[in-house]
Amino acid sequence: MDKEKIKQAVRMILEAVGEDPDREGLVDTPRRVADFYEEVFAGLHRNPADRLSAIFNEQHEEMVIVRDISFESMCEHHLVPFIGKAHVAYIPNKGRVVGLSKLARIVEDFSRRPQLQERLTSQIADLLMEHLQPQGVLVVVEAEHMCMTMRGVRKPGASTVTSAVRGVFDKSSATRAEAMSLIRGTK
């Protein structure tokens, strides 16, 4: 990542909004923002498929759900955060399972980029379908978008919910309903 370029750009933005980038409080701001961007966009330089390099064989063909995976991402339209939780469910095929922490890592890899919630949701589902080849995947993402809280319609607290449904979760409404009730914790 070209952090020098980020620093120059932040300095220019400060000048452009009418600030003095050389005043004491702002002097280190370009560097801080460059450090911050390096961290929140680190997923651009990772391949989430690598998280699925170790697939285990377990005699388990029942639903696996990891819920409340917290994430922080950056809305690509405004470069401000959207923050929330992802819930990932899948049903293994031929006992192919993956370490539970890997699901959280995949959410992190995809969220640490300029992102849209809709795309984040489907990227997680599609990666699992392609590389784990389960019977099905269901991903639900809920998030609050700072671009809705701080600007435009200004609706703090509003949450956006997106879902991606693949395989058996798409075909069977009963299986989908079971996963949704487990995700909501109402079962």
Residues that bind Zn ion (CB under 5 A): 75, 77-78, 147
- Which of 61, 72, 144, 147 is flagged as catalytic? 147
- Which of 19, 61, 78, 178 is flagged as catalytic? 78
Q: Which residue is nearest to Zn ion (CB)?
A: 147
Least gap, CB of 183 to Zn ion (angstroms) = 25
- Which of 87, 115, 117, 135 is flagged as catalytic? 117
Cα separation of 168 and 176, whole Å? 8
Nearer to Zn ion by Cβ, of 20 and 118: the residue is 118
Q: Is 75 a catalytic residue?
A: yes
Q: Is 78 a catalytic residue?
A: yes
* Alpha-carbon distance values, 28 to 24, 35, 45, 79, 98 (Å): 8, 11, 26, 20, 43
Nearer to Zn ion by Cβ, of 66 and 83: the residue is 83
Least gap, CB of 151 to Zn ion (angstroms) = 8
Give the SS3 label for residue 181.
helix
Sign for the CA dihedral angle at 128, 69, 183, 157 comes to negative
CA 70 centroid distance within chain:
8
Least gap, CB of 75 to Zn ion (angstroms) = 3
- Which of 4, 39, 58, 76 is flagged as catalytic? 76
Least gap, CB of 77 to Zn ion (angstroms) = 4
Q: Is 60 a catalytic residue?
A: no
Q: Is 39 a catalytic residue?
A: no
Burial 21-31 (b: 16+ CB within 10 A, else e): eeeeeeeebbe
Residues 6 or more apart whose Cβ sits within 8 Å of residue 71: 83, 84, 85, 86, 107, 108, 111, 143
Q: Is 145 a catalytic residue?
A: yes
Nearer to Zn ion by Cβ, of 144 and 178: the residue is 144
Residues annotated as part of the active site: 75-78, 117, 145, 147
